[in-house]
Structure 1
């Protein structure tokens, strides 16, 4: 059932039994007094799942060097492609403003200022040799048509673009051309890289979005350039809910999400969280103070703990993080402690991350959420959740004045 929202855009507390909340709080207070030393490993080594052969594996013990790692700054070129069957009515400047600075700002906030994506838009249209309708552009593109499009695009752009100067390549098609289908926007990875200016092009972001485009669409596609997987579930018939795995909670699930900041696990993989910010939970009970994931660190601060991880097997883990209405998550309608499962052998689109719903009988934000059943997945203060089949319990004891959550984890 949808719940009333507060003026600030974040749902108020759920109607829970006051007795249950008081009992939970009392139990937490008592256990925090008698619990022994926190059973957490600040180095987090044992919790770093190993990278597997799965496409965009979420193992993070090593970095796949086939992908650029988003550290410090990366340079991205935007090449604008027109077609002989349509005279472009938009300018490259107008299309650039559809994506930047919004995309750079998204990554700068998500990385806590550790990474900057620098766009280098070309100033004029470059004409493709064939009509837009001849390339068969659509979501499930025939490989031979897609290959022909990319070969032609690289060939016409190469005389004007020094590809050796860039880490990321965007080919932006005239969105008003008759053969352009916005559903075809995607990252194309090459088994055999194309070569231009002596540089192997291993992947290109092909952009076919309408003007204006879907919100955060380029942040989603650029995430793939950094080896992040699709987190949505595509129904076999293409119909039904696509967002059953993670709902609104990560831009790699949906670019329309209310809380699109990247999961803490993704930030750990990308190098934006260091090991001191990840608590590796061992057996027993331990207390953890989790800072809201999207909240920027205070000046001079290390940022505090952003993620707690419990290994559940050789290739799986339970992750616990706090989500608040700040930064990239500023439009969320619920706040609290989010719990999700990570699997390193699940490929992109195969559920490498699944949010665990702490309130499976309710939903929220039906007017704004991409998947209301998961919009109220986080735990609030005074609530507890036991992970099905794992014997792991997460309890939220308190929220500090600064917004951090005090969480007790029992394994």
Structure 2
């Protein structure tokens, strides 16, 4: 597959013609699921915490939308394998499960500093869909009626075999070698009203159509949507050109191929993996020691400061964090202090985050980066960068033997 291939992000389907065989499928109605304002407070986050907005997957951090499971405790996921009458699978469910696990579980354990464990429960057998794979017309921009039929058929054959009350998350994995399966169709499907199955509400499902072996970190990206994180890539209007002009390699919600694939510190703040004491709200001038956001501390060791935030408006902020070749960022080709802008009212796919290119006349890792002009975006020791419209200046004073970065941030009138 071409390097710029992107998983499909979030679909909000219109599902009609639901059969009476499973009455709970009446929940698949033609409405959109929108990430509305927070319904559960997360506690005082300080003056730099942007509020949630009506934007889909808003990056406000002052609360949590409880229609999404929050990954601050172990969650159980059922992994279901679907075959089709027009193809006999050449792989086993165990082989496909191994494509994604335990790698995805380890990704989240590292990213959350051990606060979250994704526990997969893969079925051991194929479940046969009633129609040939090519009948469903799978593709990135999938016909809504065929997509609805796929989901309706899948739930119909799965329901007798799975007790959904045991699980928090659902993954549907299609036979990757069936002739109609298109890996570009991989995405999260949200239901306008939740499915009521076995006494539990199912609000969204990950539909996986990946090749074998799959794209790197693809399931981490899709699982991020299950936790209310947005797509950070830019989709060109004509389907051609660069997809990664917003964030480059610097977050898995931008690209599953990214060299520094860990979540931004802002995302970790939103998910509850960073506590308020690990986030510094900067006003005036502050000297700060930043631990690399991807560094996993030894058992019992403090996390230290992972994120500095400068509030620049009612709905926007500048974030500063350190990135280094460790943890989920171990394949990064550059290290340093990364600066990015965050907007709480920009929806998923619209650019809610954009990385500040502190070296606009150069790039790095042209043979490996998803977007080389941003691969050298971090500041190095001895460098500084000003963002005039944000009245902010960031200076990198040094790096300690432990790997942490000494940074001075100046805001406001002193700039």
TM-score by length of 1: 0.89
Following the alignment from structure 1 to structure 2, what is the Cα–Cα distance between the partners of residues 149 and 111? 34
Alignment partner of 1:295: what SS? coil
Match of 2:326 in 1: 326
Following the alignment from structure 1 to structure 2, what is the Cα–Cα distance between the partners of residues 222 and 248? 18
Following the alignment from structure 2 to structure 1, what is the Cα–Cα distance between the partners of residues 155 and 148? 11
1:209 aligns with 2:213: no
Counterpart contact for 1:154–1:196, Cα < 8 Å: no
- Kindly indicate whether structure 1 or structure 2 has the higher relative contact order, using CA contacts under 8 Å at least 6 residues apart: 1
Counterpart contact for 1:44–1:280, Cα < 8 Å: no
Following the alignment from structure 2 to structure 1, what is the Cα–Cα distance between the partners of residues 162 and 385? 54
Match of 1:159 in 2: 160
- Structure 1 residue ranges (4+ consecutive) displaced by more than 6 angstroms after TM superposition: none
Counterpart contact for 2:79–2:171, Cα < 8 Å: yes
Which structure's CA Rg is the greater one?
A: 1
1:311 aligns with 2:314: no
Following the alignment from structure 1 to structure 2, what is the Cα–Cα distance between the partners of residues 184 and 383? 43
1:187 aligns with 2:188: yes
Deviation at 1:200, TM superposition (A): 2.1
Following the alignment from structure 2 to structure 1, what is the Cα–Cα distance between the partners of residues 394 and 127? 55
Following the alignment from structure 2 to structure 1, what is the Cα–Cα distance between the partners of residues 263 and 390? 25
Match of 1:74 in 2: 75
Match of 1:244 in 2: 245
Alignment partner of 1:317: what SS? strand
Alignment of 1:75-224 (within 5 A): 75-224=76-225
Match of 2:344 in 1: 344
Deviation at 1:315, TM superposition (A): 0.3
Following the alignment from structure 2 to structure 1, what is the Cα–Cα distance between the partners of residues 382 and 213? 43
Deviation at 1:53, TM superposition (A): 0.6
Following the alignment from structure 1 to structure 2, what is the Cα–Cα distance between the partners of residues 92 and 241? 35
Following the alignment from structure 2 to structure 1, what is the Cα–Cα distance between the partners of residues 371 and 207? 27
Match of 2:289 in 1: 289
Following the alignment from structure 1 to structure 2, what is the Cα–Cα distance between the partners of residues 235 and 89? 36
Match of 1:23 in 2: none
Following the alignment from structure 2 to structure 1, what is the Cα–Cα distance between the partners of residues 71 and 156? 28
Structure 1 runs not aligned, ≥5 long:
1-42
Match of 2:51 in 1: 50
Match of 1:234 in 2: 235
Following the alignment from structure 1 to structure 2, what is the Cα–Cα distance between the partners of residues 68 and 287? 36
Deviation at 1:44, TM superposition (A): 4.8
Deviation at 1:82, TM superposition (A): 0.4
Match of 1:270 in 2: 271
Following the alignment from structure 1 to structure 2, what is the Cα–Cα distance between the partners of residues 195 and 234? 34
Residues 145-168 of structure 1 show CA distances to partners (whole Å, capped at 9, x for unaligned) of 111111111110011101111111
The answer to which of 384-393 and 339-348 deviates more is 384-393
Following the alignment from structure 1 to structure 2, what is the Cα–Cα distance between the partners of residues 318 and 44? 16
Following the alignment from structure 2 to structure 1, what is the Cα–Cα distance between the partners of residues 360 and 385? 11
Counterpart contact for 1:44–1:279, Cα < 8 Å: no
Match of 2:301 in 1: 301
Residues 77-105 of structure 1 show CA distances to partners (whole Å, capped at 9, x for unaligned) of 00000001111111000000000000000
**Aligned Cα root-mean-square deviation (Å):** 0.8
Number of residues of Structure 1 aligned to a counterpart in Structure 2:
368
Following the alignment from structure 1 to structure 2, what is the Cα–Cα distance between the partners of residues 384 and 63? 35
The answer to which of 298-307 and 371-380 deviates more is 298-307
The answer to which of 289-298 and 343-352 deviates more is 289-298
Counterpart contact for 1:247–1:257, Cα < 8 Å: yes
Following the alignment from structure 1 to structure 2, what is the Cα–Cα distance between the partners of residues 44 and 388? 26
